Structure 1
């Protein structure tokens, strides 16, 4: 029923699962999570991310380099296209701009972001975008390089309604994480209220940003249900409706045949 559209399964905290990744995956399935997208943030860990997807029919993967990753292989357009040539890789990213820690790497981030968007256009695989304290530059680069026929998603969205509107005009969905459940996130909840369900995804970004009532704990895909509950509350619809529409959005965006439950 539910889809966790953005998680980092290769980074889950497994100490309370006896080191066994299958345990949180099974807990997610029991909770009703029928698909997960394991998102890459470093090319050095590409094989780890892809292996998880290949070993599980309900898990997909992406290839990309997070804007805050300053070491390791730099992602050229050609390299991203090469690595994306696998049926389990359904997206390019996570990419984008993150100026939170200063401006020392802004030029590098901008060049890298453009490369991901160009690879997305070539492969016809959507882009997963991270943006933090870089609203104007993010939109400017999207306008210049994003392929609106391919689109993508603004992951873990925490920006303004005006930015959400402009991203949706470029054929990007808006994805809400556990932050929408936080006590101090009233402004974000207002954005979620305004965002049409047809333009929305939900995600955990696990192992980070666990939603209420799990805040302070390591996040897991099963907790995406709590995000769906909050969105349903904000919109005055059923949790089942949120699950159905956001799941359909996920399959449509990433061109994945919808899974048939047993």
Structure 2
């Protein structure tokens, strides 16, 4: 049994069989954290938590949707963040690969989401793509170590992990670790402390080998766990138990 620390079961990819997929996932997980991307998906995530007792939610603004940021939206998110099944703020951060929102707006939204996390005393789920230096700079300036944060879908370098360790960050690893071109994350795992490591699917995305290209779901976490255990030279069951303990600690579940 796993903890899937990051999924998007509200995604339209699950519209035809969401209930069946979640009930299948229930056989493989202790709980799932369904990550929001804006106000609308925050409501969808919370709705899932009301239907499925093993699903928890985040609330926040994804960098792709940073244009939706406003003081009014943050006030609405604050109200939702008080829900007992909302366990973190996010996913939020910076995405300089797609730049769907202007970078200055992404930064403003990112800082506002961190401040929200500080207010409600819940950790931050961080999205960072092609923005490593800026992300780490902001996290340092915002004293993320006082709030708590996880680098979601971490694919950074050994050096990035060393810098992130100074900020007491957690790392959530997904299907990318099973890809043939995953050299960086394989090396980075050497720098990631065992007590900061968690598993995720990012479903429906990032499906691990041998199912790469298909829709992802929580039952495939075993492939991620086995690969990480192999890289770290750990027993598979030990790795699973370790990541479960870390996830429960991080999300206070």
Give the TM-score, by structure 1 length.
0.90
* Contact persistence 2:225–2:239 (CA under 8 A): yes
Query: Displacement of 1:222 after TM fit?
Result: 1.2
* Contact persistence 1:2–1:247 (CA under 8 A): yes
Question: Any stretches of 5+ residues in structure 1 without a counterpart?
Answer: 257-262
Q: Which residue of 2 aligns with 1:222?
A: 219
After superposing the two structures, state which structure 1 stretch, 184-193 or 228-237, moved more: 184-193
Mapping for residues 232-247 of structure 1, pairs under 5 Å: 232-247=229-244
Q: Which residue of 2 aligns with 1:10?
A: 10
* Contact persistence 1:44–1:73 (CA under 8 A): no
Mapping for residues 192-231 of structure 1, pairs under 5 Å: 192-231=189-228
Mapping for residues 150-189 of structure 1, pairs under 5 Å: 150-189=147-186
1:50 counterpart = 2:46: yes
Q: Which residue of 1 aligns with 2:59?
A: 63
* Contact persistence 1:38–1:61 (CA under 8 A): yes
- SS of the residue corresponding to residue 159 of structure 1 reads coil
**Alpha-carbon distance between aligned partners in 1 of 2:101 and 2:22, rounded to the nearest angstrom:** 38
* Contact persistence 2:62–2:90 (CA under 8 A): yes
**Alpha-carbon distance between aligned partners in 2 of 1:21 and 1:72, rounded to the nearest angstrom:** 27
* Contact persistence 1:12–1:220 (CA under 8 A): no
Query: Displacement of 1:101 after TM fit?
Result: 2.6
Q: 1:33 to 1:177 in 2, by over 3 A?
A: same
**Alpha-carbon distance between aligned partners in 1 of 2:70 and 2:9, rounded to the nearest angstrom:** 22
Query: Displacement of 1:70 after TM fit?
Result: 4.9
Q: 1:143 to 1:77 in 2, by over 3 A?
A: farther
**Alpha-carbon distance between aligned partners in 2 of 1:104 and 1:23, rounded to the nearest angstrom:** 35
* Contact persistence 2:161–2:191 (CA under 8 A): no
Question: Any stretches of 5+ residues in structure 2 without a counterpart?
Answer: none
Q: 1:26 to 1:104 in 2, by over 3 A?
A: closer
Structure with the larger helix share: 2
- SS of the residue corresponding to residue 211 of structure 2 reads coil
**Alpha-carbon distance between aligned partners in 2 of 1:71 and 1:77, rounded to the nearest angstrom:** 13
- SS of the residue corresponding to residue 64 of structure 2 reads coil
1:38 counterpart = 2:15: no
How many aligned residue pairs are there?
252
* Contact persistence 1:168–1:199 (CA under 8 A): no
**Alpha-carbon distance between aligned partners in 1 of 2:11 and 2:228, rounded to the nearest angstrom:** 26
1:24 counterpart = 2:17: no
Q: After superposition, what is the alpha-carbon deviation per residue over 1:85-128, rounded to whole angstroms, capped at 9, x for unaligned?
A: 10010000000001013597110000000001111111110000
Query: RMSD of aligned C-alpha atoms?
Result: 1.8
